[in-house]
Amino acid sequence: MKYIFRLCNLVILGVILQGLYFLLLVYTLANLSPLMYFIMSAFGIFCVFFIISGRDTAVYRLSWSVAILLFPAVMGMVYIFCIRRKTRRKITQSRSAEDCAPYPENVNNERLARYIEKTTGTPPATYTDAEYFPVGEDFQRRFLEELNSARKYIFIEFFLIEQGKMWSEILEVLTRKLGEGVKIRVMYDGFATLYTLPRRYYKTLRKMGIECQVFNPVRRLLSFRVNTRNHRKIAVIDGTTAFCGGLNFADNYINAKPKVNTGHWKDSAVMVKGQAAWDFTLSFLAMWEFVTRESCRGGFPRPTENETYTTVGRGSPTLRNVASVWHDLPLDNESVSEQIFLNFITRANDYVYIITPYLSPSEEIMSALGAAAKAGTDVRILLPFIPDKIIPNAIAKSNYLPLLEAGVRLFEYPPGFIHSKNIVADDERAAVSTVNFDYRSLYMHHECGICFYGEKIIADIKRDFTQTQSVSHEITLEAHMKTGIFTRGARRVCRIFAPLV
């Protein structure tokens, strides 16, 4: 009973009831008279024409068109209610031209770096040290070490935070650092943490002395604003060290949760030091300003040269490698992440390896993957064997057939669930990001990531892929065709509505 009456459940119940009432009202009006039905049907057809003439992706327009043509009176009104509104406020970050690192000499990498700078305002950056973490346990150990070394400030912006072992260890360090005068800011997504944090948890953190903001908190009234979420994962220490990757702050990401149905949870992240870390700092501050609508960058000056290039571990102050940090905004008619992935795929000569938890990419990416494989590029995709969500998994498997027929090699990870989001090509470039290969990440969410060009970190990322592949099993075309016809049919139906899931 306590679970049933939790406020977050009551909020969800209230939203569902409002939605049902809304649909019932529309349905009733549509059936009051033939004239009203004609008006509502005509309205639905008008919505379809409006959708088809829009600038959204073809699969998005198809999904909504099918839904409205099936139920014109109801779905037409639903579409108007949740129509995607373009972002009016921009998230901007910038640094002076003299801070721009030299462009990579490789032509493909140079074009990629220039594209990222043109679309996000972030030129290439140097980094003195980079460390890749193939599993969450490695990330947690190093992250706590870096937190303990903080002297000025700590910024944390994560999609999901869950109370448990992982967050408790982090919060313990944050509390101690508050006593040392370190300034701490935390931001998390309101929808993602609906069941993982107590109600108004941000007030608890604020009472401790931590500045906290909630991105797009869930309201009691029916609203589709939750459809756009902050899926980014950024942690910054003193502007000189930054972390990014697929990880969230929850026990399953470090395999510390006793009861999970997804087996071993594999996720990855990367740490960078130097100018690239400052770019992540600017990205965090830009998002903070976006949420609070207040300027906040004046209190956090750029680290000095000595501070920026102080390294610990494998790096050297004289070794300044080049990378590009990017952020991706939803609903601004520029899918930065999609274009980055297309660059990796279409410009790969020898190979392109992808590891992702979900496989529901755009038609452009699907075509690029198939064309690259047919042209002789070694295209491989690593996916989870044990899914965390049924429908997205069905949608992913519905994409297997065209990829296998084109020559793309698909692998599933039997030990459990993969949540990593990496891509590496030709030993020349690699990306670690928060971006899934699905519609939501590519078009609906705030995302971020970092591209590395031709250095040792790329070998680490590739090695993780090959080692994971060695314990995975390959999906062959023959084995896939043995799937029952009804199962394949159900997956294809789910695929139609992939952008709406």
Q: Could you tell me the CATH number of the domain that includes residue 434? A: 3.30.870.10
Q: Answer yes or no: do 58 and 160 share one domain.
A: no
Give the model confidence (pLDDT) of 223-254 as tens digits.
Answer: 555 668 999 999 999 999 999 999 999 999 99
Q: Are strands 409-413 and 473-475 parallel, antiparallel or unpaired?
A: antiparallel
Summarize pLDDT for 179-206 with one digit per residue, the tens. Answer: 999 999 999 999 899 889 998 999 999 9
Q: Note whether residue 240 is domain-resident.
A: yes
pLDDT band (50, 70, 90) for residue 345: very high
Contact 343, 111 (CB under 8 A): yes
Last residue of a domain, one of 302, 328, 354: 328
User: Of the given ranges (18-27, 293-302, 472-481), which has the lowest mean pLDDT?
Assistant: 18-27
Element (H, E) at 270: strand 269-273
Task: Report residue 5's pLDDT band, with 50, 70 and 90 as the boundaries.
Answer: very low
CB 136 within 8 A of CB 251: no
What is the Cα–Cα distance from 459 to 374, expressed in whole angstroms? 26
Residues 185 and 118 in one domain: yes
- Shared-domain flag, residues 246 and 115: yes
Strand partners, 452: 323, 430
pLDDT score, position 373: 97
Closest CA to 193 of 237, 231, 154, 148: 231
Cβ count near 246 (within 10 Å): 28
Counting Cα atoms < 13 Å in the Cβ hemisphere of 64 gives 25
Pairing of strands 264-266, 416-418: parallel
Return the number of other C-beta atoms located less than 10 Å from residue 115's C-beta: 16
**DSSP for 17-74?**
HHHHHHHHHHHHHHTS-HHHHHHHHHHHHHHHHHHHTSSS-HHHHHHHHHHHHHSHHH
How many residues are recorded in the chain?
A: 501
Residue 97 lies in a domain: no
Of 82, 113, 139, the last residue of a domain is 82
Residue 89 lies in a domain: no
**The pLDDT value given to residue 333:** 76
Number of structural domains in the chain = 3
DSSP state of 443: I
- pLDDT at residue 466 above 60? yes
Q: Is residue 94 part of a domain?
A: no
Which is more confidently placed, 392 or 54? 392
Residue 91 maps to a domain: no
Same domain, yes or no: 309 and 175:
yes
Are 152 and 295 contained in the same domain?
yes
Count of Cβ atoms closer than 10 Å to residue 221 Cβ:
8
pLDDT above 80 (res 15): no
DSSP, res 499 = G
Say yes or no: 302 and 400 in one domain.
no
Confidence tier at 309 by pLDDT (50, 70, 90): very low
Assigned token pair, 28: 């009733």
266/345 same-domain check = no
pLDDT score recorded for residue 127: 92
Query: Quick check: helix, strand or coil at residue 135?
Result: coil
Q: What is the DSSP string of 393-412?
A: HHHHHHTHHHHHHHT-EEEE
Q: Which residue has the tokens 């990419």?
A: 361
Q: Are residues 276 and 375 in the same domain?
A: no
Residues 72 and 220 in one domain: no
Q: Is residue 93 part of a domain?
A: no
Asked if residue 95 belongs to a domain, the reply is: no
Q: What is the pLDDT of residue 316?
A: 41
For residue 469, the SS3 value is: helix
Token digits for 41?
Answer: 């049907």
Does the residue 345 lie in any domain?
Answer: yes
**DSSP class of residue 256?**
-
| pLDDT top residue among 429 and 83 | 429
Q: Which residue has the higher pLDDT, 230 or 496?
A: 230
**Averaged confidence pLDDT in the chain:** 84
- Torsion, Cα 418 424 427 429, to 10 degrees, reads -140
Residues 195, 293, single domain; the answer is: yes
* Whether residues 25 and 152 fall in one domain: no
Residue 212 and residue 294 in one domain = yes
Q: Give me the domain span that covers residue 434.
A: 336-500
Give the residue, 431 or 3, on which the prediction is more confident. Answer: 431
Q: What is the DSSP string of 296-329?
A: --TTSPPPPHHHHT---SS--TT--EEEEEEEE-
User: In the listed set 328, 351, 382, which residue is the last one of a domain according to the structure?
Assistant: 328
Whether the predicted pLDDT of 128 surpasses 70:
yes
Instruction: Render pLDDT for 394-435 as a digit per residue (tens, 0 to 9).
Output: 889 999 999 999 999 999 999 999 999 999 999 999 999 999
The predicted model gives 381-394 an average pLDDT of 91
How does residue 138 score in pLDDT terms, banded at 50, 70 and 90? very high
The more confidently predicted of residues 414 and 90 is 414
423 within 8 A of 444, measured Cβ to Cβ: no
